[in-house]
Amino acid sequence: MSVLARGLNTYLRLTEKRALAQATDIDALRRSFALRARLFFHGPFGTRYHWDTSGQVAVQWAAAHGIDRATGPLILYFHGGGYVFGSTNTHRAMMAALSKRSGLPVCLVEYRLAPEHPFPAALEDALAAYAAVSDRPVILGGDSAGGGLALALLGEILRKALPKPVGTFAFSPLTDMTFSGSSIIENEMRDVLLPAARIAEISDAYLVQTAPEDPRASPLFAEFRGASPIWLSVGSTEILRDDTIRLADCLRVQDVDVVAKVESDLPHVWPIFHNILPHARATLRDLSGWIRGQMDRA
């Protein structure tokens, strides 16, 4: 682990993890994350951001300099935040960095959040946004809860026999709302960002009366046979480590082409720290190469 990664982990453990463990006001949590994202996360010089709608759902485009968002292939992205906070604004800088490396515009979906809009509101928005762009080659993507949403969307696309995306990627995805992975307990103290003690509250806020085993909420239990290739990454010390490892095992059993990268001692969704962390930039470069490979084959 690099000196920068070690320092970032220490900072996250002492500040962000503590704040998430103690948060009681969702509105305050949303405002705090939005402010820190505006201060610390910045896209490449010349990035253009543009608000629009896709299937009557608000979206924000992030396109690096010289990239046309109007035509051709695109990345459809779903931000993380436990289904209760985060926004396209908090994640657009990371997607601008991916846009520059991949050569594709990114359409970030402003899906409805719980508890005001519990399941299946987020999935309904995801389906509507995808339907509006599915006449173009699409790469689905997301992180954390948004990664779970992207994978749940893929499961619904397959179930409904809709046009398939070219590929799907997810950073540290939340794939199991039953929270049955052993890493929840094994990494409770090792995870530098996510407090395991708060995970039941995510389920309560998002699912309400829906069974956590529902594959539309927990894509670990979805059917993916016939899916296009999938790329996953997760840190070895994350409480959600097994959400990725077990999903990758299920995908292989279903004959899906899957790349699953488990990186040592990196924080939850580390590519968001691309401004300061070399390994974050390396992961975005690696993912960009995979995306270009899928586009070439498509």
Catalytically annotated residues = 144, 238
Burial 52-62 (b: 16+ CB within 10 A, else e): eebbebbbbbb
Instruction: Give the other-Cβ count within 10 Å of 292's Cβ.
Output: 14
**What does the alpha-carbon distance between residue 205 and residue 215 come to, in Å, rounded to a whole number?**
17
Q: Whose CA is closest to 47, among 106, 88, 133?
A: 106
CB 80 within 8 A of CB 91: yes
Residue type, 123: L
Kindly list the strands in the beta sheet with 138-143, ordered across the sheet, starting from the edge strand earlier in the chain. Answer: 48-54, 57-63, 106-109, 74-78, 138-143, 167-171, 230-235, 258-263
**What does the alpha-carbon distance between residue 17 and residue 189 come to, in Å, rounded to a whole number?**
11
Identify the DSSP state of 16: I
First to last CA, the chain: 36
Residue count (the chain): 298
Q: Whose CA is closest to 164, among 138, 125, 128, 127?
A: 138
